[in-house]
Chains A and B, each alone.
Chain A
Amino acid sequence: MKTLSPEQQLAIADQAFDVRRLCLEFITNAGWGHIGGSFSEAELLATLYGGIMNIDPARPDDPRRDRFILSKAHASPALYATLALRGFFPIDRLYTYCRLEGLDGHTQRGQCPGIEFSGGSLGTGLSFATGLALGLRLADNFTSRVYCLIGDGECNEGQVWEAAMSAAHYRLDNLIAVIDYNKVMAKGKLSDLMGIDPLADKFRAFGWTAIECDGHDLPEICLAFHRAKYLEMNGHPVVVIAHTCKGRGLPEAEFNYHWHTHAPTPSQAEAFLADLNRTYGRQETFSRPLVAPKDGGLEAVVTADLHSGK
């Protein structure tokens, strides 16, 4: 898939929209979640799962599949929604997000089909992906590739650069790192808290091929991945630096760290859906009622026991 046909482009755009709508819905009902980083990666995931990666929802354990690692595992909502929309598991399961025995706030390996990596501790994904890529080589699997989506703030972690050094050392050109460069961390702008520029030069200095693209422009994303997969397979791992917007699609949340970890109230969520409909020219509604959960915490638990029964 070097270029996208108009039909493919529409399908991927629709999927990115639906991911945002579903995220709003189940994050609101969980009362917790990461909207900003989920919305910045929506087009990247929709493209990867919409034709770039070799995956089959019916055979999530196929040894010849491409592997996907979400190193920025707090942005799990968009991945869960993408997997559900692609048929890896029923959509209903999304509504177990952050409930006991449900989908975890951060991805947990094996918790549901398509989740390969236990994350949440930032900076750890690229090492795991390097191990997978090396393992594929050792097993003479030259079909599968490993994709690892990394947050920009996450590049503060030294381990990212330890992994980058290792992957280049082992000449792992079956490894494609993707940076969701949305410019905003949990508590402020990257450039204010701990800047990472010049990012492409850093990766190049570590022996990687670096490609930059607009992470919301579908033809550009597609071309970048095509280059990463075919044109620049020359013994170097490849990084696609996708320039994105945290909270993309919601004027209130765009580049706003307040929406890094934050759940909307039901009425905010309705307003956000109206924003999304306006931005993407859609007229969708939520598929189920929005109810903000209540956590009475320690006091509720202790008080309930003391007042129930005798």
Chain B
Amino acid sequence: MRLTYATKPLRETFGETLVELGAAHKNLIVLDADLNTSSRTVLFKQKYPERFVQCGIAEANLFGVAAGLAAQGYVTFPSTFAAFATRKALDQVYVNIAYPKLDVKIAGSYCGMTATECGPSHNCAEDVAVMRALPHVKVLDPGDNRELASMMHAMMATPGPVYFRVSKVNAPELFSEGHQFQFGRGHLLREGHDLTLLGSGFMTAVALGAAELLDREGISAAVAHLPCIKPMDEELVVNLAKQTGALLTIENHRIYGGLGGAVAEVIAREYPVYVESMGLGDDVFEAAPLQDLLRHYRLTPRAMAERAKALLRRKRHSSAA
């Protein structure tokens, strides 16, 4: 499967879709904490300055104001780096937004390792884990630009808090025109019977690459994309566990509490098979360009194929025993 990569980063689609939604929904307000040209909410600011609220470099304030506006019937999109939305303003997000189920759609920009050279203070390998642990919050990690746009339309149509990941990455085009995102739905991208590779966000591209490498060695790997980490597509994940007997996840996130953790929770409860996770361990995403980070933390197709082969040996050993 040959992937074509988008010519614009995910964040550009985020900004453009905000403008599109802003035209249709007069109650949509975008809030910023001095990052709008990075997050690309600047596009909305230029089109609808009266519905753009600058909160300054003050993230606790950002989420509090977004909550207050939502309580007045607005749908608010407060946006900042994922690190600040989740690690810095967690209490405001929990108490003022998640707990009262307000209609706040939180865009975590520069998620995972994609703040790159900014280093550990801005790279955020725990946003999914943090948000997934909050009540009432849906947690999303789009795989490509079409999916991100569709996801934003879906969250406008669904009341309640959402956390979704955005980045400056040019993602592979996983889906064709007309792709519809649905909460709680994953997508089988490649059939296979030896084991399953599961990805979220743009890391699904790495899983597809790994499946290709495995195929060259005669190993048949299924690949599924899970853009909705909470609620999880349990049916898809359990069926793949039944069909292939081993699951390997990969994510732009820590291996604790993210996609790998969410899959393991389902599998341990419903149909125990081996689940292994790839992502960041008990470490930080250092400052470096993206290509160097992917290689340094062994989040490449080759590294995933190697890990898949080891997992397959483990699976075969246990079924022979």
A positions within 8 Å CB-CB of B? 30-33, 73, 98-106, 108, 118-123, 153-154, 156-158, 185-188, 193-194, 261, 293, 295-302, 305-306, 310
Contact = CB atoms under 8 A, between A and B. Distances in A.
Given A99-B288, A194-B55, A298 B121 contact: no
A105 B205 contact: no
Contacts of B87: 121
5 contacts: A153-B57, A156-B57, A193-B54, A296-B291, A301-B300
A295 B289 contact: yes
B213 A306 contact: yes
The A interface is mostly helix, strand or loop, or mixed, namely: loop
A98 B291 contact: no
A108 B123 CA distance: 13
Contacts of A33: 117
Size range of the chain B interface in the assembly: 35 or more
Contacts of B117: 30-33, 98, 105
Interface in B286-306: 286-296, 300-302
B267 to A, nearest CB: 27
Contacts, number: 146
B226 interface: no
A295 B116 CA distance: 10
Interface in B78-115: 83-84, 87-88
B209 A302 contact: yes
A156 B56 contact: yes
The B interface is mostly helix, strand or loop, or mixed, namely: helix
A186 B109 CA distance: 16
A106 B122 contact: yes
Nearest to B2: A306
B172 interface: yes
Contact of B57 (A30, A101, A106, A123): A123
B187 to A, nearest CB: 19
B300 A305 contact: yes
Contact of B54 (A30, A104, A194): A194
Interface in B184-208: 202, 205-206
A153 B289 contact: no
B300 A302 contact: yes
Contacts of A154: 57
Contacts of A185: 34, 56-57
Given A99-B288, A186-B34, A302-B3, A193 B56 contact: yes
Given A30-B117, A186-B34, A298-B172, A306 B212 contact: yes
B239 interface: no
A80 B117 CA distance: 16
